[in-house]
Homo-oligomer: A and B are copies of this chain.
Amino acid sequence: MAGYSMSKDDYLRRLARIEGQVRGLQAMVAEDRYCIDVLTQIASVTKALQAVGLGLLDEHLHHCVLEAAAESDEAGDAKVTEAMEAVRRLLAS
């Protein structure tokens, strides 16, 4: 069971809302809505996605990484290396 399963419903609710916002973006473009309004909505969806990502990363570090560290130094180091790659991808996106 993955580390974030504790608040799985919360993540699913947030992602469902994001899906609705992306559908809303399609409607805005289809209706030729003003670009700046579309951009404002895109910034808001991006922020919501980043918040989900940061929540998952937080739980991953608290659970998977610390559990691996309790097993062995090598396991802890491997999980930290993997988590850092995820941080780099989030920062670059």
Q: Which residues of A approach B to under 8 Å, CB–CB?
A: 1-5, 8, 11-12, 15-16, 18-19, 22-23, 25-26, 29-30, 32-36, 38-40, 42-47, 49-50, 52-54, 56-62, 64-66, 69-70, 73, 76-77, 80-93
Contact: B26 with A88, CB < 8 Å? no
Given contacts A15-B25, A91-B91, 6 further A-B contacts (CB under 8 A): A4-B29, A36-B85, A42-B53, A49-B49, A57-B87, A62-B81
User: In the complex, are the beta carbons of A89 and B43 less than 8 A apart?
Assistant: yes
B92 touches A43 (CB 8 A): yes
Q: Is the interface of A mostly helix, strand, loop or mixed?
A: helix
Give the complex CA separation of A40 and B6 in angstroms: 20
Name the B residues within 8 Å of A40 (CB-CB): 86, 89
